[in-house]
Structure 1
Amino acid sequence: MKVSHKFIDGSAVFDDDNIVSYGGLIPVMMLAEQTDLPQLLAEKITITTSTIKSGAANPAPKLATLIAGMCAGADSIDDVDVLRSGGMPTLFGNVYAPSTIGTLLREFTFGHARQLESVLRAHLTELAGRVDLLPGGDQQVYLDIDSLLRPVYGHAKQGAGYGHTKIAGKQILRKGLSPLAAVLSTDDSAPVIAGMRLRSGKTGSGKDAGHMVAGAIATARAAGAAGKILVRGDSAYGSRKVVRACLRAGAEFSLVMTKNPAVTKAITAIDDDAWTPVQYPNAVRDPDTGAWISDAEVAEISYTAFASTKDRTTARLVVRRVKDARYPDALFPVWRYHPFFTNSTLSTVDADLVHRRHAIIETVFADLIDGPLAHMPSGSFGANSAWVLCAAIAHNLLRATGILAGGRYGRARGATLRRRIVAVPARLARPQRRPILHLPTHWPYASNWLQLWHHTIGYPPTVAA
């Protein structure tokens, strides 16, 4: 491909007031209005005291502007300014400047972040009523909980601390902030975020997990999950509080247990004939070494966890063992054991296969890191807390947008949706005062874009994924 014209210095001029950079934001934000996002923000976000007198004014349209910017690909506060270019201010009202949004975010405290978290949960419920976000939810829903460590740099980040993270199977210390997330999914759907909370980088992974699980289960029920709910997590969440929250809410659990003398004793008691070979349809990464494995052996034994407490719980200890690659020439196999605690009714092999799919939450983290969580934009911990929650709301909104667009976009990554559906250039015209968007001819994804347009402009009944 080569340039077809000879341009000169004055050939490029930023002077068109009718060019729209993100034509796909129109159906996205219409979907947000149809699911009461502006109303939820106005009802639930209340900032009575502020450092700057005007900083807390009109939080709802400011946060809606930020969420729209994230749907368009903003990964910093300054990126929101693209919503004020060309014909965008003509298409959207109450679009605020990045500096104004940044002032609002810095007014956020822990309590205000909890208010925004309630908006996240309520909006997910509204989205589920508008779009079939959890197909098959009347049978089985999976709730996965995990945290990640987002690196930060410099001395100006409040709450930043050195926490442990694992890269290529190796534990390292890294300075950052740690969001905790709970996501919902089914066998036929991509995951949506039911809860999110920012913590200090040195905070233990399992802190607040019990409250997060309880709230996420309630959100799942409100979103139409009438079937079984299986809570999955790694060793940081195999705790009394998480198990208790699951049992109180009537949910099943599948949680990795930290190895201790009682767990080791239970594994040793498993009969040698009880082990069953299992092959994974797709290779999984070994949590200890980072190597890929495609086969293993599993067995189970009855186990009572937290035996010395009032929360003693008896269920199944399912153990997966793999040969230790460090001893390939050993006379007898050297095994490494990975136990998890579950009260599900699945067979041993199926319980292991289902538990391994807990890694689906990593796709959500990858999606967020490839978008608004590319970095933490502010030095204020409260501002970053609000940023993380707005990113979760934008993620769910894009997920619903993909379902309405149809086809493979129901499970597409956020970056794909932003590139193909949202970032569509257009020219705004108003013949006879009727607004018309002129979109590029031969746009490769025009059929899905128009399907989204018809589903939001016409507002039909709930559309299945």
Structure 2
Amino acid sequence: MAESIPTARQAGCTGALILRGDSAFYSAEVVAACRAQDTRFSITAKLDRKVKAALAAIDPGAWTPIKYPRAVFDEQAGGWVSDAEVAETSYTAFTSKKGKRVTARLIVRQVKKKLDPPAADGQGELFPAYRYYPIFTDSPYTLLQAGSSIVITRCRSRPTPISSTVRSPSQDWTVNQGWMLAANLGHDLDCWVRLLTLHDQDDLERAEPDTMRYRLYHLPARLSTHARRRHLRIERSWPWAQAFVLAWQRLTQLPALA
């Protein structure tokens, strides 16, 4: 963090910076680095005993319903999520580390669990069960603004498995810079392919990179040349052959760069 935040400012980032990270970033050192660099933080808190106690202490009437403009798939919730509830409380983290405790906001999003297996017709649930997503943050935004950004950020960041520094291939920052650039370029290209060519394909519009790799990028096809023309011969039984052809046609119809 001590190197990446100044690098972001040197690259032209102005105004308030907010570090968003998953639970791998939940540490006193990361928060201290953010504050030393005049940067806000918004980090997924680990659901340990203390955090669970803080969640249990939230007044049931403090939860505020929120609805997202577009549903996003949540693996932990087991389906598409279009609404949830958010609440916040004050929380002091890292109390076991002398001189490094931090008090900030704990913003929590709760999503109702789906019944598994589904209840029989006419049989209701005895009591609702929820999944909780706590965010430890010093964000200046209001509860609804910050709560809505949790799921939006999660949706944007989930397809990229490179957000955590624990996945970096080297301990050398220069090597990691090149790797991070290449990985992000690949992720951006994948996003643009879906946005420009698969926006009306329900099963591919929001597909993750692993799904795109299996269905389109690892294509069971053969490229051949005949009469000075190239032919792509796709296996007829491949379920996503038409989707690939549609994407290819739309890409080739894009105007050339000036």
* Aligned twin of 1:300: 88
Q: State the match for 2:157 in structure 1.
A: 361
Aligned residue in 1 for 2:257 = 449
What residue is the counterpart of 1:412 in the other structure? 192
Higher gyration radius (CA): 1
| Amino acid in structure 1 at the alignment position of 2:30 | V
Take 1:277 and 1:271, find their aligned partners in 2: how far apart are those partners?
14
- Deviation (angstroms), 1:336: 2.1
The answer as to 2:33 corresponding to 1:225 is no
Against the structure 1 CA distance between its residues 250 and 267, is the aligned structure 2 distance closer, same or farther, given a 3 Å change threshold? same
Where in structure 2 are the equivalents of 1:19-168 lying within 5 Å?
none
Provide closer, same or farther for how the CA distance between residues 232 and 386 of structure 1 changes in structure 2, counting only shifts above 3 A.
Answer: closer
2:74 & 2:183 partners in 1: Cα distance?
A: 32
What do the CA deviations read for 1:355-395 (whole angstroms, capped 9, x no partner)? 223342345559xxxxxxxxxxxxx989xx96982572595
How big is the shift at 1:223? Answer: 1.2
Which structure is richer in relative contact order (CA contacts within 8 A, separation 6 or more)? 1
- Is contact 1:318-1:342 (8 Å) kept? yes
Residue matched to 1:77: none
Q: Distance in 2 between matches of 1:390 and 1:414?
A: 23
Aligned twin of 1:345: 140
Contact 1:398–1:414 at 8 Å: present in 2 too? no
The 8 Å contact of residues 230 and 254 in structure 1, kept in 2 or not, is answered as yes
Give the secondary structure class of the aligned counterpart of 2:32.
Answer: helix
Q: How many residues align?
A: 187
Aligned to 2:65: 277
Structure 1 segments unaligned to the other structure (5+ residues): 1-212, 367-379, 403-410, 417-442, 451-465
Q: Secondary structure at the match of 1:283?
A: strand
Question: In the alignment, is residue 320 of structure 1 matched against residue 100 of structure 2?
Answer: no
Picking from 26, 38, 41, the partner of 1:250 is 38
Q: TM-score, normalised by structure 2?
A: 0.61
| CA RMSD, 1 decimal | 3.6
- Once residues 341 and 283 of structure 1 are traced to their aligned partners in structure 2, the CA distance between those partners, rounded to angstroms, is 24
The 2-side partners of 1:281 and 1:228 are apart by 25
Instruction: Tell me the residue number matched to 1:392.
Output: 181
Q: How far off its partner does 1:247 sit?
A: 1.2
Cα gap change, 1:364 to 1:415, in 2 (>3 Å) = farther
Distance change (3 Å), C-alpha of 1:444 and 1:290: same
- Relative distance call for 1:392 and 1:415 in structure 2 (3 A) is farther
Structure 2 gap segments, 5+ residues each? 163-168, 197-251
Cα shift at 1:331? 2.2
Shift of 1:398: 11
Residue 257 of structure 2 aligns to a residue whose secondary structure is: helix
Change (3 A) 1:331 1:305: same
Query: Equivalent residue of 2:58, what SS?
Result: coil
CA distance in 1, matches of 2:14, 2:2: 16
Could you tell me how far apart the structure 2 residues matched to 1:302 and 1:267 are?
A: 10
SS at match of 1:225: coil
Task: Work out the CA distance in 2 between the residues paired with 1:305 and 1:412.
Answer: 39
Length-normalised TM-score, structure 1: 0.36
Q: Which amino acid aligns with 1:256?
A: T
